[in-house]
């Protein structure tokens, strides 16, 4: 299996399909590159070199105790992209992965990144504060940490319901999709899963968004129960220089079903524009 070894000795797993202009996909918490299986094939079939990696601590990458923070995630991504010498590249990030690609583009990607796409992404900042009243109270994130520590297996099963909107009337989310969320979550080592909560909720990426000078497509469902749209996409679009916002009515946080089909076509259209 393909790996790179970062400057601090962490092994980062990645997978790739196809040839052509590169697209790099960054997954959400607590998932892995497996979350992008549909997009890996779809984008490769459309003529792109499609690459996805497992964030440190997640999936098949090293089970890290240190470096589980947004700065290091972006640095790991930079080392992967530099090793593969990717240029004119498209970055796609979901949830925590949205934060990762935004920080990479702002701090490492000058001259390499052509376009950025985020979906249900955490920037500018999730946690509630006096300056971010639309955010999520810190007690919610404390609850996530407690759930991961106490019984992560059951916690991930429970979280899959709101992640995919399976708790909404009329939902058609399959048991298989929820089971796969649990499967991927169980691959994250506990320290990495725990520390990533702070990374995705308390990292202020206002300056990162302001620094991005390439076109960025910001996508989010208006029924996102994990990352509130009022503290995320609706704020992010006001901070970027060259952004396009699309809100998907009724769509949850997880990329699934008709939302996934529409989003994937919108991503391809944005890339090809």
Please identify every residue annotated as catalytic.
95, 224, 253
Whole-Å CA distances, 214 to 129, 163, 209, 211: 29, 30, 11, 9
* Closest alpha carbon to 93 in 64, 73, 72: 73
Beta strands in 113-242 (DSSP E): 113-119, 216-221
Whole-Å CA distances, 196 to 2, 58, 93, 104, 173: 24, 10, 16, 17, 26
* Closest alpha carbon to 202 in 153, 261, 137, 259: 137
* Closest alpha carbon to 86 in 52, 135, 120: 52
């Amino acid at each position: 299996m393909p790996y790179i070894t970062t400057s601090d000795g962490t092994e980062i797993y990645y997978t790739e399909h196809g040839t052509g202009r590169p697209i790099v996909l960054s997954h959400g918490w607590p998932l892995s590159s497996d979350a992008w299986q549909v997009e890996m094939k779809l984008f490769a079939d459309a003529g792109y070199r499609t690459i996805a990696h497992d964030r440190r601590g997640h999936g098949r990458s090293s089970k890290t105790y240190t470096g589980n923070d947004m700065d290091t995630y972006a640095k790991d991504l930079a080392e992967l992209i530099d090793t593969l010498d990717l240029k004119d590249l498209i970055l796609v990030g979901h949830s925590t992965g949205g934060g990762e690609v935004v920080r990479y583009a702002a701090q490492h990607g000058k001259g390499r990144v052509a376009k950025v796409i985020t979906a249900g992404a955490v920037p500018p900042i999730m946690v509630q504060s006096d300056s971010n009243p639309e955010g999520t109270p810190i007690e919610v994130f404390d609850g996530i940490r407690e759930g991961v520590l106490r019984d992560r297996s059951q916690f991930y099963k429970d979280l899959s319901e709101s992640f995919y909107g399976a708790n909404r009337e009329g939902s058609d989310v399959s048991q298989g999709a929820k089971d796969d969320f649990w499967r991927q979550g169980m691959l994250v080592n506990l320290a990495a899963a725990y520390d990533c909560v702070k990374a995705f909720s308390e990292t202020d990426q206002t300056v990162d968004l302001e620094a991005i000078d390439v076109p960025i497509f910001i996508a989010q469902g208006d029924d996102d129960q994990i990352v509130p749209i009022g503290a995320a996409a609706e704020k992010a679009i006001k901070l970027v220089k060259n952004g396009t916002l699309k809100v998907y009515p009724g769509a949850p946080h997880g990329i699934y079903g008709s939302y996934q089909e529409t989003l994937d076509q919108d991503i391809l259209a944005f890339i090809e524009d």
